[in-house]
Chains A and B, each alone.
Chain A
Amino acid sequence: MIEVENLTKHFGAKFAVKDLSFTVKPGEVLGFLGPNGAGKSTTMRMITGFITPSSGDARVCGHSIIDEPFLAKQKIGYLPESAPLYNDMTVTGFLRFCADVRELKGSAKKDAVELAIETCFLQSVARQSIDTLSKGYRHRTCLAQAILHNPDVLILDEPTDGLDPNQKHEVRELIKRLGQNKTILFSTHILEEVDAACTRAVIVDRGIIVADGSPEELRKQSPTGSLHDLFRELTTHDSAHGSAA
């Protein structure tokens, strides 16, 4: 379970996230939508403990990321936006390192690495050096480290970014499958993914929540019944402002 309470982050005078509050329950897949620069990644980085909030708190399975970061981080599997990896390692070597970090030992470690490789379809590149992998495989390797320790909470920052249509489909199916017994928060700006994988969606714009509900509820809020139109209506249009200026 993720409980975000009045989370705020400002860099100097500029607010990246402003007084954000929401809850994601177990078995729920929350799509975190918003245009570029809306504060999605900053929010996720705060929930995962990578950056410190200016104010507010986030609780992961009851553990505050500020007061009990170690316990909270143990419950989280996180896929960062750029899917960073150690290029000098092999896929298996990297996953073994992540298993060590998660304190998995012996057969539990071996099984976890094998299962993650199988779940993310990495068998063909398992012994390959990471710096020789294509973008899709790199992304899936990073996803594999996120699910390796069977975490209660998954936080995925644009998990389908850069994948081909087949891979996108596989990742969405995986998210749906994992979402049955985990708490998942994933960000995207691809609205089709809301229908494909989410049980609920939140739209943020300039660090504030502008809509929250199930895909059906959100659709009802739009005069045309389209998520695209609702998204365009509620969020800032950088390009429109640019052309107007």
Chain B
Amino acid sequence: MKHIWTIFKRELNSYFTQPTAYAIILIFLVLSLLFNFTFGRFILAGDANLEWSFLFWHPWLYMLLAPAVGMKLWADEKRTGTIELLGTFPIPPWATILGKYLAAATVWLIALSLTFPLIITVNYLGEPDNWRIFSGYLGSYLTCCVFLAITMLVSACTRDQVVCLIVSVSICVLMVLCGYEDFIRELSKFRVDYLVEAMVSLGVWDHFRSLTRGLFRYQDMVWFASIIFACLVGTSAILSAKRA
């Protein structure tokens, strides 16, 4: 546990001693609020639960911005050679992986927390179901954590951050698009039911939307947890295979 904290502290510091975290948090805040007040029609729709006006845009933003936070996790260690220091320190590999992952996830926790004025606003203007808002935020954060875990896995495969960014964004875009309603509707016309089902379960929307509607479904939690877990285990396997 102490080792996770040591790595976590270093990683989180490195995000905030460089402009990376500030830039990404600022871009996320500006874009999410811009979409909320323009395409999301926050005022016109009168959606106090923030489901359509605000949270709906998050997966679209995460698919582009989450990999920008996670791309350096291993790619940078490999490029600068510091992976050799980490590999020879008396720290279990899982502690390093977890510490790094939690640091990247904390950057997004901070970004998401900074949207709190919107929650105050809807509580001032209307009577929202705050549990539903919390559930929606949880869905949003877990979606981001899934994209971060995927980025971490890709980052373990390459020393080039640009390659990592491109590949991770592609995978995240695919996960956002393949479960999107319009896409599923078009795919349904071909009457390949098993493919439609596979696309829905692979995509983020089914799991994300159930949480934004305030539903805590067991299968969604399993979906989020299993993808994150599989990516972290995969990262560990790739790193040890590269050292073998």
Contacts and interface: CB of A to CB of B under 8 A. Distances in A.
Interface in A30-85: 45, 48-52, 70-71, 73-74, 76, 78, 80, 82, 84-85
Given A82-B81, A101-B3, A103-B2, A49 B88 contact: yes
Contacts of A48: 87-88
A129 to B, nearest CB: 9
Tell me if B's interface is mostly helix, strand, loop or mixed: helix
Interface stretch (A86-94, A116-124, A173-181): A86-94
Contacts of B120: none
B10 A80 contact: no
A73 B89 contact: yes
Given A74-B90, A101-B6, A84 B14 contact: no
Interface residues of A, number: 28
Given A80-B81, A84-B80, A84-B82, A101 B87 contact: no
A80 B84 contact: yes
B89 A50 contact: no
- Which bucket holds chain B's interface residue count? 20 to 34
B6 A50 contact: no
A100 B240 CA distance: 24
5 nearest A-B residue pairs (beta carbon): A84-B81, A73-B90, A50-B87, A48-B88, A100-B6
Interface of B: 2-3, 6, 9-10, 13-14, 17-18, 80-85, 87-92, 240, 243-244
29 contacts: A49-B87, A50-B87, A51-B244, A52-B240, A52-B243, A52-B244, A70-B92, A73-B89, A74-B90, A80-B84, A80-B88, A84-B83, A84-B85, A85-B82, A86-B10, A86-B80, A88-B13, A88-B17, A89-B10, A89-B13, A93-B13, A97-B9, A100-B6, A101-B3, A101-B89, A101-B90, A101-B91, A102-B90, A145-B85
